[in-house]
Chain A
């Protein structure tokens, strides 16, 4: 639709059209009010120009109804735009259930990606067309921001916690990836490309290189290597909670309070295990702070999440069937 408009970014995600529709509507309203005010100012300034040196203006009584009109009309329009903008925003930050998870680790000044199949890339990310993709992101140093103008998505990438963003590419091609949050000397060079491919081409691309172990397999390996499995057993909850099925569930803490187990909670429990102790357990677990890279922590969490879906077989099926979009046939 906007293909030949100069100075306008490509639309390459399902979200892009929605953001643009919102933008152009607001732009239209703004141009209308801008021209209205400018037109009146110029017209009055000419029509009522001073004709003689001692002339004064003709004072009028302030009209309360005018004040009400020009307060209420802008307010109503602004609230409508707020509601529309909120709808698009909520959509952009709530990944659909069938989104496939990729990991992103940012550092000064590069982007590291890991596909669920295990493939790693730096600064470039290959993704299949028409597949909702959810990025779980963290930073190894300062705040960065993941920004793909053609997708109209942006989310800050923070050290010490996970943020997520999702997109569904709607166009094959190569699109700019920028770091949008100032991050030091090479900030403007901290970019790359998102390469959108037909699903079949993407499968071929994946098959054409050694992917290494998948995220879950790496996580499982780490789970043994770091001796997590000595206490977190699948058959006994004596020393530590059973992790199967824990993801997405509510846990209760020693001393009160509850929380839904999400990526950030798992990360905190690995890095600072005593911060939120699950009810009924003693602070036995040592911290793993400084002993694992951010990539490894992500893999470990990926593995723990996979335990969740193992334990609840119906979980994946529910989100698949509830999704209106058919999942592209793999391979």
Chain B
């Protein structure tokens, strides 16, 4: 009953707040502290409204006015957050491509209104892709509850489920697209109905059994070749152990792992002895922008039975790949020798224009999601030099990331918000490698949204258009027993 009364009271409060005039405001000499932190961020012209609230929850009302250099303005007032009208927002951004906006925030407290120094938002002329795709899952250990793969339109607040594990028994992971194009798509199902769903050239999905007698197990961590003909996979014998008294609660590690490339046209896996060495753990394969190289992470394997997990350190390596013949090169180059710095590389992601490669660096291992020290680094592929992306790194975990199709935006997952639940952030990277301050995925009522959602945004990736994913057909495929077997090139 008390709760109901509170709710009614807050509705009354909200309605009382909206439309109030900011008067007799005390001018503060600081910029406002808002949630999410959008102060000085660079945004794409087609992003959804950056709604925000006062970081301080004691504010009774928030008032925000956005103005541009042409005299246009946009106003919003709310009890909880400033929610801008979506069409007015897009119109304002469209008029200010490559320009900046000034945001003046006032907040009402018990003692009246306070007005803060304005802050800027920079509108990049570089647009961002249609949306992102991610898995929503509780940041758990071994057992899973409800989860699914979702698509979010970045120009609005619309989120759709592609598929949820309420439709079948099992879990769903490793969604992958060819440079954000959902016409080529790969998706894994684990559990009783294990399968890999593959769609090529916007054709129908096929359910595959990716396990063969010549590989370690099921294919995971897919990455599409730019031609759409190949998908690079790794096969991993993965285990988990749990810390008894460490903030990095979980260690996910491989006891063996290999790489292979799947030829979609010929339904065969392409293997190389260099990529399946017993003494080396190879994982996270990705193709270069031109499709002629395969980048991956590699670490010296631990002696059997050893649990010296903090001595497993992955370097960033590369091998040639011939897209015509599907043959691999005869040698492996080490691109980033992280072992030397007593660090470990994971999740390499080359930009699609071939300029950069972003990777995660942590103290050890390859599952940096559970490492609070994990940060993102940017490798300039023209100079071969790496640098930490200090503009976007935080004290907490930064791990998975991907590039937009125009290579000007990055989405990355970070646990900076509360130290556990992963949120997607975006940053702009220009052709010189300058990185902007990141901004969190906009939501209509951000505090309420992120506080109420007990799910992590897992493996965010851009999509250039809606996925047109028929979840009913997909669930029929999954629940059906038929699986097409992966072949292996002789």
Q: Do A and B associate with each other?
A: no
Chain B residues proximal to chain A, CB less than 8 Å? none
By a beta-carbon cutoff of 8 Å, the part of chain A in contact with chain B is none
